[in-house]
Chains A and B, each alone.
Chain A
Amino acid sequence: MRLQYPSNVKIIKLPCTGKVDLIHLVKSFEKGADGVCVVGCLEGACQFTKGNIRARKRVEEAQRILDSIKLGGERVQMFNLSSSEAPLFVKVISEMTEKIKEMGPNPIKTALKKAA
């Protein structure tokens, strides 16, 4: 199945969302990302038992940090999908892209561009 997802989305592959650390999430925004989706397996289906549950907690922590510096915690979200759900993946990513568009670009990206 070949489906089209928004072309501005960059995919970073990881063996498990449990590998995602708080610092990775926070740094993405410091480097100018407008939004970050962490897409893990369905809850209860993690090969490493709790990788995706841990990832969710880290995403929530990153949301708190982004809120506290007024960047908008909703810029980072966690989704749980099974790998056979390609249409759902496209739907989720497209919705997230729309949402971020509504929020506007990451002000850090704008500041970085100005400084360059």
Chain B
Amino acid sequence: MIVAKRKPIEEIIEEVQAYDKILLVGCNECVTVCEAGGKKEVAVLASALRMHFMNQGKEVKIDEITLERQCDHEYLEELRNQIDQYDVVVSLACGVGVQFMAEKYMNMPVMPGVDTCFMGVTEERGVWSERCQGCGTCMLAKTGGICPVSRCAKRLFNGPCGGSTNGHCEIDKNVICAWQLIIDRMKNLDKLEDYEALVPIKDWSTERAGGPRKVVREDVMQ
């Protein structure tokens, strides 16, 4: 999933201070799972904003809605008949959802309600960590299913650097060395010989460095 974290309320107040009809829009998918922008977070934010404006003696309409997703036309369309009642939208979806909303409703200011962080997993409730950077050419088959692009600070592909100590990365003793994980896993799989195979230079043109990306599937297009 896409992992996001809640934005400081002060920052959101700054985004919407000049408006008086505000719609807060949550997303039922990734940001609900990482507890940053689902129905509940929308309710807490709405309540805090209402109190903020009441405290200032300003009458502001604040409504809440949570869509199934904000990265698909069909769900964003659900707002078509009501969005004109507002003068600003705060989207608590990831940056993808915020932008798609803005593209669809060209005359409506759309503000981000969360900080989008990475693609990752729920390690345990309240702890999320990164697993993939969408490099466009997945190499997990060569690295025991552990991604050195997202999990090795130096993105090394042929074993650890000299800074790996007791299984931890030299950038931070709380970060596990991705190569330690890869080697442990290869051992478990009885595939340590894979570690000896040189991984050739990676083609980075499919990664973000090659500019904005797009996937087109003509066979499923309508």
Total interface residues on B, using CB and 8 Å?
15
> Distance (Å) between the CB of A34 and the closest chain B CB?
13
Q: Does B44 contact A (CB under 8 A)?
A: yes
Q: Are B47 and A107 in contact (CB under 8 A)?
A: no
Q: Are B44 and A30 in contact (CB under 8 A)?
A: no
A23 to B57, CA, bound (A): 23
**What A residues does B10 contact at CB under 8 A?**
68
Q: Are B48 and A26 in contact (CB under 8 A)?
A: yes
Smallest CB-CB separation from A111: which chain B residue?
Answer: B54
Smallest CB-CB separation from A114: which chain B residue?
Answer: B57
Interfacial residues of chain A within 1-54, with CB under 8 A of chain B in the complex = 21-23, 26-27, 29-30
Chain A interface mostly: helix
A112 to B55, CA, bound (A): 10
Q: Does B43 contact A (CB under 8 A)?
A: yes
Q: Are B48 and A69 in contact (CB under 8 A)?
A: yes
Chain B interface mostly: helix
Q: Does A92 contact B (CB under 8 A)?
A: no
Total interface residues on A, using CB and 8 Å?
16
Q: What 0/1 readout, one digit per residue, does chain B (92-111) give for beta carbons within 8 Å of chain A?
A: 00000000000000000000
Q: How many residue-residue contacts, CB under 8 A, span A and B? A: 41
A65 in complex: contacting residue of B9, B43, B54, CB < 8 Å: B9
Q: Are B9 and A69 in contact (CB under 8 A)?
A: yes
Q: Does A108 contact B (CB under 8 A)?
A: yes
Q: Does A78 contact B (CB under 8 A)?
A: no
**What B residues does A22 contact at CB under 8 A?**
40, 44
Q: Does B50 contact A (CB under 8 A)?
A: yes
A21 to B44, CA, bound (A): 10
**What A residues does B8 contact at CB under 8 A?**
68
A30 in complex: contacting residue of B40, B50, B57, CB < 8 Å: B50
Q: Does A71 contact B (CB under 8 A)?
A: yes
A23 in complex: contacting residue of B9, B47, B51, CB < 8 Å: B47
Q: Does B52 contact A (CB under 8 A)?
A: yes
B40 in complex: contacting residue of A23, A29, A65, A112, CB < 8 Å: A23
Q: Are B51 and A69 in contact (CB under 8 A)?
A: yes
Q: Are A29 and B54 in contact (CB under 8 A)?
A: no
Q: Are A111 and B57 in contact (CB under 8 A)?
A: yes
Q: Are B48 and A107 in contact (CB under 8 A)?
A: no
A68 to B9, CA, bound (A): 7
Q: What 0/1 readout, one digit per residue, does chain B (1-39) give for beta carbons within 8 Å of chain A?
A: 000000011100100000000000000000000000000
Which positions in A face B, CB cutoff 8 Å? 21-23, 26-27, 29-30, 65, 68-71, 107-108, 111-112
Which positions in B face A, CB cutoff 8 Å? 8-10, 13, 40, 43-44, 47-48, 50-52, 54-55, 57
Q: Which 5 A-B pairs have the closest CB atoms?
A: A69-B52, A111-B54, A68-B9, A26-B47, A30-B47
